[in-house]
Amino acid sequence: MASQGVNSFGASDGSPNQGTGEQGSPKSELDMPADDHSGDHSGDHSGDNSSDRKQVAEEFVAGPQASVAKRDPAHSTPAVRSNIGRGVTSGSLKSGGPRRGRWSQAELARLRGLYGVRDNHAIARELGRPVQSVRRMAETIFPKGPRTGPWSAEEVGALKKYLGVSPTEVISRLLGREPEEVHRQIEELGRFQSNEEWTRDEVAEFKRIYGTRTDEDLARIFGRNVQTVTSLGEKLALAKDKAFLRKLNGKASTRMPRWKQDELVLLREIYPTCSNLEIAGRLNRSVKSVVSKAHNLGLKKEPERLRQMGRENVSLRYQD
């Protein structure tokens, strides 16, 4: 297969980042956020529905006024609200309800950027649209294609981008490949395991996505064995996102121990001058937990520490 030996990660997820701290950046303590992937994909992307397609086509052609009037004759002339904050200027919004009607170009562009890296419920919340409307529109702008043959490096990179975030059916639609082909390619990724040292770019990407992928999926993405992935996560004091664990396990994730008074005293003392990774090691906590607590307490790095970080970043940037 064309994927053997390929270790690219694809493009950025394109989703707003939410994590903070060192574990998201190749630069010492500069914050690099983690992906936000909450909710459940199941049932959001299933099958084609001719009546759904007809309805979404009517929304395109008739526009917001006719669309709302069809659903509720009492609102045959609703006021169109622009929702400037989301960059959306078409469609209509019932009072207290989701937006309906014609999709704007801004909405379609945002849907293309988010689909596959967030679930339909998260996309619906951001766009202010019903989940079913998001699903129908995705099926319209990402039609299933008959693509076959060897996988290109670009396709493998895209597969790694979506792996562990979206179900196979969604990846199949995005890549224009049959679900069976996607399954086979994922298995092919698992057969390639490198023993080489982690590169700086790999570590940066590892930190960025660690919180929202299982170690098994990370092993496939980076072409390493699971033990190597787990060891690197422990070395960098990384932790899985709580929302990801709830989704994965179907129950509340294990809570970190409450901060004790002596831990808070030590954090206030060493945070301004020490790296977040060093602090995490001393307190036996994740970097994310350290950064979150420091933010809540209003702690800042001292100017000299910030200058040192800058020098370290320059050194990393130009090292061979």
- Tokens standing for 267? 């954090």
Structural domain count, the chain: 2
Is residue 256 in a domain?
Answer: no
Whole-number pLDDT of residue 109: 92
What lies within 8 Å, CB to CB, of 10 at 6+ separation is 157, 158, 159, 160, 161, 162
What lies within 8 Å, CB to CB, of 6 at 6+ separation is 153, 156, 157
- Tokens standing for 18? 């939410």
Is residue 204 in a domain?
Answer: no
End residue of a domain, out of 121, 141, 161:
141
DSSP calls for 146-157: ---SSPPHHHHH
**Number of helices and strands in the chain (H, E):** 15, 2
End residue of a domain, out of 125, 141, 157:
141
Whole-number pLDDT of residue 42: 40
Is residue 237 in a domain?
Answer: no
CA torsion through residues 282, 286, 288, 294, sign: negative
End residue of a domain, out of 141, 176, 206:
141
Report which of 4, 42, 5, 12 is spatially closest to residue 185, judged by C-alpha positions.
Answer: 4
Helix (H) or strand (E) segment spanning residue 99? strand 99-100
Is residue 103 in a domain?
Answer: yes
Is residue 109 in a domain?
Answer: yes
Is residue 211 in a domain?
Answer: no
Is residue 302 in a domain?
Answer: yes
Domain that holds residue 312: 261-318
Is residue 38 in a domain?
Answer: no
CA dist 248 → 12, 38, 181, 187 (Å): 23, 10, 24, 21
CA dist 96 → 68, 70, 72, 127 (Å): 14, 19, 15, 14
pTM of the model as a whole: 0.52
- Tokens standing for 201? 């770019």
Over the chain (320 residues), what is each successive 10-residue block's mean pLDDT?
46 40 40 41 43 46 42 40 42 61 91 87 91 90 78 93 89 89 91 90 93 93 94 91 80 68 90 86 84 90 84 64
Whole-number pLDDT of residue 258: 86
Whole-number pLDDT of residue 4: 43
Distance CA 131, CA 38 (A): 14
N-term to C-term CA, the chain: 32
Distance CA 123, CA 286 (A): 29
